[in-house]
Amino acid sequence: MRRRAKYLHVASGVAHGFTLAPLKWLGVGVFVHYHNALWPKGFEPRGRKQQALLRAEAWFLRHVAAGAFCCSAEIKRQIHAITVGQGCPAYVFKAQFHRHSFEAAAAARSHDDRPFVVAFAGRLERNKGVFDILDMAARLDDGRYEFHICGDGSELDALNDLRRKMRNPQVVTIHGRLDRPRLLAIYARSHAVIVPTRSDFP
């Protein structure tokens, strides 16, 4: 308000949309960027709290938001469903990457090489499946597999505690948040990068 902004672009998950309503009344155009679906595809929320939040989101999209940017067609479809087609304009965008990020990519490792190296990079949250990685590692702790967990989040300490209690904790390395060159080095060493998100993650 102090800067007299004409527009606000906000990432979904930062705040509930309805809390931004006063900005519209002050003449600020609010655009929301959705990087996650509103619910896991095929599993529309049935709980009262989730349904109430969806109704509030639908109100925000009909009466407050000037536009919505969606990283997938599924998100746009869900917005259309909750607003019954009467929400703000919604646009699908595709992520853009700099070419130089891929020019020096390492050659893929042979899947016969051992140890077989598996990497995860993302937020360390239960619904991202990070604890499932420890379960995998515990079952594959014969020295032929190696897991690298990169990122930060609310479950970092709990993840480290659980790792220390494993029979062979050296099978898993928890790096925390890495700068880009170090993360790319982990990718280059890996046979596979996994995204083990759970069904309650949209």
Convert the pLDDT of each residue in 94-147 to its tens digit: 878 888 877 777 788 888 999 999 999 999 999 999 999 999 999 998 889 999
The one-letter amino acid code at 70 reads C
- pLDDT tens for 61-80 read 999 999 999 999 999 999 99
- pLDDT tens for 178-198 read 998 899 899 999 999 999 988
- To which residue do tokens 């020096």 refer? 104
CA 96, chain centre distance (Å): 17
Measured distance CA(137)–CA(128) in Å, rounded: 16
| Cβ–Cβ under 8 Å, residues 133 and 194 | yes
- pLDDT tens for 19-63 read 999 999 899 999 999 998 998 888 888 889 989 999 999 999 999
Q: How many CA within 13 A on the CB side of residue 150?
A: 19
Q: What is the mean pLDDT of residues 153-170?
A: 94
Q: Encoding tokens for residue 140?
A: 């594959």
Reported pTM: 0.71
Per-residue confidence (pLDDT) for residue 154, from 0 to 100: 93
